[in-house]
Amino acid sequence: MDKTHDSNLKSWIDVEENSDFPIQNIPFGVCSPKEGGDLHVVTAIGNFVIDLAHLDEAGIFEGTEIEGAEIFHEPTLNAFMSMGRNAWKETRSIISEILSKDNPTLRDNEELRKIAVLSKDDVNMELPVDVGDYTDFYSSREHATNVGTMFRGPDAALMPNWLHLPVGYHGRASSVVLSGTEIVRPKGQTKPPTSDEPIFGDCKRLDFELEMGVLIGSGNYLGEPVPVDDAEEHVFGLALINDWSARDVQTWEYIPLGPFLAKNFATSISPWIITLEALEPFRCSSPKQDPEPFDYLKNKEDHNFDIELEIHLQTKEMNESCVISKTNYNYLYWNMAQQIAHHTITGCNLRTGDLLASGTISGPDKDSRGSMLEIAWGGKEPITLPNGEKRAFLEDGDIVTLKGFCKGKGYKIGFGNCIGEIHPSL
């Protein structure tokens, strides 16, 4: 850790005590002015975004690896992400320095401050990354056990391979959408338990999945696996993911090849990417693994993080949302380094902008489950909301908000919100 992690560090920009974006965070995203204009790479502090393109033009990054690259004028983070960890850390350090309370560089430059320090209310956040390939894992033991118990019984909850490798599948990158994008209820084939034949129509068991996304920065060459303890060198940062699911469509289609239409209609991603440097003070060990994994999956270091996660739900009849589940990223049985090592052990080449989602993150208790499938136990145990409404699965007009944060001493590192509202099928 370095001085950017100092809990006593303060900025000349006022930051509310419970803000997701104190000076210790320095997330990265992309925005455009509400009145129209170019997309620029930005960071956030408190209720403001800092336009890094204008800082670059003013010479703030002179003498660094990114000088002259004009990467902050790009409409996505991909160019910056491709430059590697040294460039990411150097940029973070400079931003931290110019935002620090006693640094006059930006604070006292009224002309630069006027164009570079913007209220979050004056900009539109944009999709931060041009996602190339999307892989969805299934790495929470509690989630896999809950789902397996529902469909196969407790004695066969986990499939024989689950404790030996990070199970995953390749998803659909084109339907990864920014938080706030409307989620249209999908149509598809389903087979009700009471019917001998499938039917076609609206999904009736629409669900959310609380996940964390890993964004690949610098990739690896085809044919060259990434060693497990080198994996983080390829990770630019993390973002909240809601991998929406059509459960009834999935039940009918997934044998023998797995999810298809049930997962390809929308995956929401939060607008801010939180770097591993920001998360460093919250590093922790993963759950004990038994049986012992193969050597290529054995961690010599800790590759998990203590990130608290919440699911909020608001219906059309409610004035505000309510928390329906709380869990933690550190419950994941297979961590990001193991996921990357396994993904590339064949020589598969990851590329800048690739998204690796954790799979639904559930904890050991009923109130720490990461999907409605689990929370309402397959629809058999609907939950009762504060206004008396019940939910077994999502209805039109429901708004799901995912939140994530790490609690530091006197500050927190937040992820912003990942929001989606359900709209009727077309």
- Same domain for 56 and 178? no
pLDDT value, residue 2: 85
Between the alpha carbon of residue 36 and those of residues 123, 125, 129, 218, the distances in Å are: 9, 12, 20, 32
| pLDDT per position as a tens digit, 72-121 | 999 999 999 999 999 999 999 999 999 999 999 999 999 999 999 999 99
pLDDT value, residue 303: 94
- Same domain for 106 and 152? no
pLDDT value, residue 68: 86
Of 125, 156, 172, the residue at which a domain comes to its end is 125
Distinct helix (H) and strand (E) counts, the chain = 10, 26
- Same domain for 239 and 352? yes
Between the alpha carbon of residue 369 and those of residues 98, 169, 209, 211, 242, the distances in Å are: 41, 21, 10, 11, 14
- Same domain for 157 and 275? yes
Asked if the bond preceding 128 is cis, omega within 30° of 0, the reply is no
What CATH number should be reported for the domain holding residue 278?
Answer: 3.90.850.10
Provide DSSP, 399-422: EEEEEEEEE-SS-EEEEEEEEEEE
pTM for this entry: 0.97
Identify which of 70, 72, 61, 24 has the alpha carbon closest to the alpha carbon of residue 44. Answer: 24
Range of the domain at 90: 3-125
Query: Can you name the residues that pair with 327 across neighbouring β-strands?
Result: 309
- Same domain for 142 and 77? no
The CA dihedral of 253, 259, 260, 261, to the nearest 10 degrees, is 70
The one-letter amino acid at 187: K
Phi, psi at 198, each rounded to 5°: -70, 160
- Same domain for 360 and 232? yes
The one-letter amino acid at 342: H
Phi, psi at 79, each rounded to 5°: -60, -45
Q: β-pairing, 134-137 with 168-170?
A: antiparallel
- Same domain for 301 and 201? yes
* Terminal-residue alpha carbon distance, the chain: 50
**134 and 172 in contact (C-beta within 8 Å)?**
yes
Asked if the bond preceding 291 is cis, omega within 30° of 0, the reply is yes
**358 and 240 in contact (C-beta within 8 Å)?**
no
- Same domain for 28 and 153? no
What CATH number should be reported for the domain holding residue 85?
Answer: 2.30.30.230
- Same domain for 97 and 140? no
| pLDDT per position as a tens digit, 231-273 | 999 999 999 999 999 999 999 999 999 999 999 999 999 999 9
pLDDT (tens place) for every residue of the chain, 426 residues total: 788 999 999 999 999 999 999 999 999 999 999 999 999 999 999 999 999 999 999 999 999 999 888 999 999 999 999 999 999 999 999 999 999 999 999 999 999 999 999 999 999 999 999 999 999 999 999 999 999 999 999 999 999 999 999 999 999 999 999 999 999 999 999 999 889 999 999 999 999 999 999 999 999 999 999 999 999 999 999 999 999 999 999 999 999 999 999 999 999 999 999 999 999 999 999 999 999 999 999 999 999 999 999 999 999 999 999 999 999 999 999 999 999 999 999 999 999 999 999 999 999 999 999 999 999 999 999 999 999 999 999 999 999 999 999 999 999 999 999 999 999 999
Phi, psi at 150, each rounded to 5°: -60, -40
Q: Would residue 170 show up in a list of annotated catalytic residues for this protein?
A: no
Q: Tokens 């990265």 — which residue?
A: 28
Q: Which of 143, 234, 342, 343 is catalytic?
A: 143
Of 64, 91, 125, the residue at which a domain comes to its end is 125
Cα–Cα distance, 180 to 163 (Å, whole number): 36
Phi, psi at 98, each rounded to 5°: -75, -20
Sheet order of strands, 123-125 included: 117-119, 48-51, 40-45, 29-33, 123-125
Cα–Cα distance, 277 to 75 (Å, whole number): 23
Q: Tokens 């990864």 — which residue?
A: 176
Provide DSSP, 357-381: E------SSGGG-SBHHHHTTTTTS
- Same domain for 76 and 144? no
Q: β-pairing, 210-216 with 355-357?
A: antiparallel
Cα–Cα distance, 331 to 50 (Å, whole number): 34
- Same domain for 108 and 252? no
Tokens of 364: 């050991």
Query: Can you name the residues that pair with 356 across neighbouring β-strands?
Result: 135, 214
Q: β-pairing, 267-269 with 183-184?
A: unpaired
Cα Rg for the chain, rounded, in angstroms? Answer: 22
Domain count, the chain: 2
Query: Can you name the residues that pair with 215 across neighbouring β-strands?
Result: 237, 355
Give the three-class secondary structure for 244.
coil
- Same domain for 159 and 231? yes
Cα–Cα distance, 101 to 231 (Å, whole number): 35
Cα–Cα distance, 391 to 318 (Å, whole number): 13
Q: β-pairing, 308-314 with 399-407?
A: antiparallel
Of 81, 103, 125, the residue at which a domain comes to its end is 125
